[in-house]
Structure 1
Amino acid sequence: MPDDALIHDRDAGLERLLEIMRRLRDPETGCPWDIEQDFGSIAPYTIEEAYEVADAIERESWSELEGELGDLLLQTVYHAQMGEEENLFSFQSVVRNISDKMVARHPHVFGDESREKSAEQQTRDWESIKAAERKDKEQAGALDGVAPNLPALLRAVKLQKRAARVGFDWPETEQVLDKLVEETRELVEARETLDADHVEEEFGDLLFVMANLARHFKIDPEAALRRTNAKFTRRFQAIEERLAQSGKRPQDSDLAEMDRLWDEVKAEEKARKSNKAGT
């Protein structure tokens, strides 16, 4: 029988978590569900946990953040355990790899370079080091290494940043705005004259320009859309609450009534913001 002392030692830290994962994956005594998993089946959970970390930060829910960070750490431990089982890598090699990378990418902290640099210069140096790393990996193209499985909006921004580094970028935001008008016009024309596949293509072009506009405005488009999603959710729930006061549900209402309630909620939110700003 394995020794359970480490499993139940709440002060054992990371070694306890690593042992828990080893036990969960034990082919004879582990959890059947955990034993069946592989890199592909766990990857969606890894992505989900990363988003839940971001959500807790956005809501400034620090007590939740502690738990979400633990969930995200578990994902790293999970993948490391599977890597060790297949003799691909181990948790210690993962830690060594990222530690080496951080030291190499911060010569102004861990090496002989001066720390007297602006944040902008440090960012340029960081990108130069990353470019050299990609070259060592035989990733010669400017767009090589941008993960295909990133969320599409995030990947669009990363692709555009890479292209901009080699000079393929509009120098002025106004040019991006002009392109936005052009793509909007092309989408309207496609809707009227082309098939669904072409409409989808034009819609993608429009989203790509919107991502570029966000980059020029120095806005994170994912964060901006999450903020708007939260605003829509908040306002629609307020509509539901007001309808409920009259004994109604949205399906018992109509667009005119819900539009009126939406405008009321929107006006009240703006008034609260104005009052808050004036205090």
Structure 2
Amino acid sequence: MDKDASKSEKSDFSSIDTLRQIMARLRDPVKGCEWDAAQNFLSIAPYAIEEAYEVVDAIEQQDMHELKNELGDLLLQVVFHSQMAAEKDLFTFDDVVNAICEKMIRRHPHVFQDHDTDIDPARIKGNWEKIKAKERSEKKSSDSGALVGIAKALPALTRAKKIQERAARTGFDWSDTAGPRAKIDEELAEVDNATDRENLIEEIGDVLFTVTTFARHHGIDAEQALKKSNEKFENRFKIMEEIAGGDITPLPLSEKENLWIAAKNYEKSNKNK
């Protein structure tokens, strides 16, 4: 990149080409940044996940200024990977853009081909799934099956839901909530009867997987449900510390339990206001 990148904040850096030039300069083995130049696909992969979560956090906080910044950080990850790929003659940023444009047009025939005026949401969803299934089958892979292609880096509860949804499309699923509810009791009994630590880990995993199924049959995303529970516990714990006037570690468990009850009552009173 040339001198323009060192201008004041008033400079117009809105072009994607400018960002690409910045990334290429950072990766330059002679004039670039030592850290950026040393990275590879695996070493920066965790940052893509981290930035995606920070985008979601900004959305949930309804902080549009922060959302703008976090989307920029996420975009940087796309440019970073594309630059490394270009250096190895694998693909370029333009190839990435072209691929997603082709995919969106291919997956939306009702918009770009049929031009239907009477759009049936169920039919559109069905076509979407058929197109995705066809795409998966066309991928050059020795592995095949209904569950192929579900990213292993997804949060475990989210991945469990996706696995179950794929399996359900083959007809392998309970017909109502009674099945998974009974299965939860069965899995909890197996936790109680676990023979060793490895077995216990396995059985607790089965409980979590079945709870995810139970949530799905209620139309609830288990990941989001747990996220809300995390936030609820975090808020109540903060209230406990506020009531106690600081660190609650030295207090006996009975006092901590009383603080928990007080925090719950405080939450309820505020909700009713």
Q: Matches of residues 196-207 of structure 1 in structure 2 within 5 Å?
A: 196-207=197-208
- Look up the match of 2:96: 94
Q: Is 1:161 matched with 2:165? A: yes
More deviation, 202-211/265-274: 265-274
Structure-2-length-normalised TM-score: 0.93
The secondary structure found in structure 2 opposite 1:147 is coil
- Look up the match of 1:267: 265
* Structure 1 unaligned regions, length at least 5: none
Distance 1:120 1:112, change over 3 A: closer
- Structure 1 residue 104 displacement after superposition: 0.3
The secondary structure found in structure 1 opposite 2:71 is helix
- Look up the match of 1:208: 209
Q: Is the 8 Å Cα contact of residues 85 and 91 (structure 2) preserved in structure 1?
A: yes
Q: Matches of residues 41-80 of structure 1 in structure 2 within 5 Å?
A: 41-80=43-82
- Look up the match of 1:36: 38
- Structure 1 residue 116 displacement after superposition: 2.4
Structure 1: which amino acid aligns with 2:112?
Answer: F
Structure-1-length-normalised TM-score: 0.91
- Look up the match of 1:253: 251
Q: Is the 8 Å Cα contact of residues 7 and 16 (structure 1) preserved in structure 2?
A: no
Structure 1: which amino acid aligns with 2:149?
Answer: G
Distance 1:196 1:115, change over 3 A: farther
Q: Is the 8 Å Cα contact of residues 240 and 262 (structure 2) preserved in structure 1?
A: no
- Structure 1 residue 12 displacement after superposition: 4.0
Q: Is 1:152 matched with 2:156? A: yes
The secondary structure found in structure 2 opposite 1:252 is coil
Q: What RMSD in Å do the two structures reach over aligned CA positions?
A: 1.6
Q: Is the 8 Å Cα contact of residues 108 and 115 (structure 1) preserved in structure 2?
A: no
Structure 2: which amino acid aligns with 1:123?
Answer: K
- Structure 1 residue 115 displacement after superposition: 4.8
Matches of 2:65 and 2:234, distance apart in 1: 23
- Structure 1 residue 140 displacement after superposition: 3.6
- Look up the match of 1:3: 2
- Structure 1 residue 28 displacement after superposition: 0.7
TM superposition outliers: structure 1 runs of 4+ over 3 Å:
6-9
Matches of 1:120 and 1:255, distance apart in 2: 53
Q: Is the 8 Å Cα contact of residues 6 and 19 (structure 1) preserved in structure 2?
A: no
Report Cα offsets for 1:120-179 as digits up to 9, x if no partner: 332221111000111111564111111222222111111111000010000111111111
Report Cα offsets for 1:70-119 as digits up to 9, x if no partner: 11111111111111111111100000000000000000111125252333
Matches of 1:144 and 1:113, distance apart in 2: 32
Distance 1:32 1:149, change over 3 A: same
Q: Matches of residues 220-239 of structure 1 in structure 2 within 5 Å?
A: 220-239=221-240
Q: Is the 8 Å Cα contact of residues 110 and 116 (structure 2) preserved in structure 1?
A: yes
Q: Is the 8 Å Cα contact of residues 56 and 62 (structure 1) preserved in structure 2?
A: yes
- Structure 1 residue 270 displacement after superposition: 1.8
Matches of 2:253 and 2:63, distance apart in 1: 35
- Look up the match of 1:187: 191
Identity percentage of aligned residues? 47
Matches of 2:13 and 2:19, distance apart in 1: 11
Structure 1: which amino acid aligns with 2:72?
Answer: G
* Structure 2 unaligned regions, length at least 5: none
Q: Is 1:120 matched with 2:115? A: no
Matches of 1:237 and 1:268, distance apart in 2: 12
- Look up the match of 2:132: 130
Matches of 2:51 and 2:167, distance apart in 1: 30
More deviation, 127-136/11-20: 11-20
Structure 1: which amino acid aligns with 2:224?
Answer: A
Distance 1:7 1:120, change over 3 A: farther
Q: Is the 8 Å Cα contact of residues 53 and 65 (structure 1) preserved in structure 2?
A: yes
More deviation, 160-169/59-68: 59-68
